[in-house]
Chain A
Amino acid sequence: EVQLVESGGGLVQPGGSLRLSCAASRFTFSSYWMHWVRQAPGKGLVWVSHINSDGSRAKYADSVKGRFTISRDNAKNTLYLQMNSLRAEDTAVYYCARDGGYDTPDVWGKGTTVIVSS
């Protein structure tokens, strides 16, 4: 079964940094675009970023542009999200998701929780 497992979440102070990872298995990771989507407590889903299959192109939501960086290591089947200058409003569960085509996330990880608080 196709699997995505996120890690790296935790408690961080405002202004701090965190790097999330997403380990992919049982599919050809290097062939797929990938997304990060987040969900604040009790709120809906919000797209954060996506990256193309070879890692040469990435796009971001305006709310994270300039602070977050998406990247991937196809040799390690791993997606990353480097988060800098974190704010309280970045508190959320962060999901990585595989793109099934045409910006349709078709497989999701279970998520990792990021809490930004002093």
Chain B
Amino acid sequence: DIQMTQSPSSLSASVGDKVTITCRASQNIISHLNWYQQRPGKAPKLLIYTASNLQSGVPSRFSGSGSGTDFTLTISSLQPEDFATYYCQQSYITPPLTFGGGTRVEIK
């Protein structure tokens, strides 16, 4: 199975900050990498698919990049509603679909 490792596991940031979350795959997954946002007590929401494609309705302050084994989710200017946990997920070699351990973004 492909292992997905996210860093950091948590971070504190202020409204307006630029935030970067990284995700590393245990082997080459080309660009088959998705990002999800999960607010407390809510279901996950797809933000970015195939590494860099913004899901419909997702604000443009979210962006994704990377290929191979190393990927990044960037929030250009953090908004109050962005405080949540973010997960990466590989869709290259399945099953199983595998998720990273999550990055919790907290208010500084």
Contact = CB atoms under 8 A, between A and B. Distances in A.
Contacts of B32: 102
Contact of B95 (A44, A59, A105, A107): A59
Contacts, number: 62
A44 B32 CA distance: 20
A35 interface: yes
A47 interface: yes
B55 A106 contact: yes
Interface stretch (B20-28, B43-51, B67-75, B76-84): B43-51
A103 B97 contact: yes
Classify the secondary structure of B's interface with A. loop
Nearest to B38: A45
B62 interface: no
15 contacts: A37-B44, A37-B97, A44-B87, A45-B89, A45-B102, A47-B97, A47-B99, A50-B95, A62-B96, A95-B44, A100-B46, A104-B50, A106-B49, A108-B45, A110-B43
Interface of B: 32, 34, 36, 38, 42-46, 49-50, 55, 87, 89, 91, 94-102
